[in-house]
Structure 1
Amino acid sequence: MGLFDKAKDLAAQHSDKISQGIEKAGDLIDQKTGGKYADQVDRAQDFARDRVDDLGGRDGADPAGTHPTEPHPPAAPDGPPPTS
């Protein structure tokens, strides 16, 4: 069993705790920044949870109801579009 397989197993076994940690980290960032980056933090939290779900083989299922399972539309880029 390789390192990646071990990570997948651990993610599957502890996905609820990992999700709680992601939530707490995002809340701390929101608190420290006064919510200035709340949208970006929320997107990062969703991305991190989705990666944990992928590792754990949960296929987007969220029995704890901690985050939506529907994919989010792509975020609008910050600033002007690049010029060619």
Structure 2
Amino acid sequence: MGLFDNLKARLAPAKDTAKEKVSGLAQQHGDKITHGLDKAAKVVDEKTKGKYSGRIQTGTGKAKGAMDRLAHKSGPGAGDDTFTPPEGPPPPAS
């Protein structure tokens, strides 16, 4: 067995424990994380004056999906990317 194989074998239990802790935190605080993602997306969308709304929505959806996978959620509503850009007229084209 090589050095890296030996190291992997010794670190595997720690990796599993860390994964379980992250999963537990994602389950426990999922609503706060989702709210924070939506809030950050809204601020960025406002700062960029809607220029990157599609990309922001896509990124937010992917982040929510990753969080749901960490929390081992599945089924309806898991990973839905429901970010809605702020209301109002679109910014003038530059």
**Identical-residue share of aligned pairs (%):** 31
Unmatched segments (≥5 aa) in structure 1: 69-84
Distance (Å, rounded) in 2 between the aligned partners of 1:5 and 1:61: 23
Quote the offset at 1:61 in angstroms.
3.8
In the alignment, which residue of structure 2 is the partner of 1:11? 26
- Which amino acid in the other structure matches residue 18 of structure 1? I
TM-score for the superposition, normalised by structure 1: 0.70
Number of residue pairs the alignment of both structures matches:
67
2:42 to 23, 27, 31: 27
1:44-59 matched pairs, under 5 angstroms = 44-59=59-74
- Which amino acid in the other structure matches residue 50 of structure 2? G
In the alignment, which residue of structure 1 is the partner of 2:87? none
Q: CA RMSD in A?
A: 2.3
Q: Secondary structure at the match of 1:2?
A: helix
Greater Rg, structure 1 or structure 2?
A: 2
Asked if structure 2 preserves the Cα contact closer than 8 Å seen for 1:30 and 1:38, the reply is yes
Q: Secondary structure at the match of 2:51?
A: coil
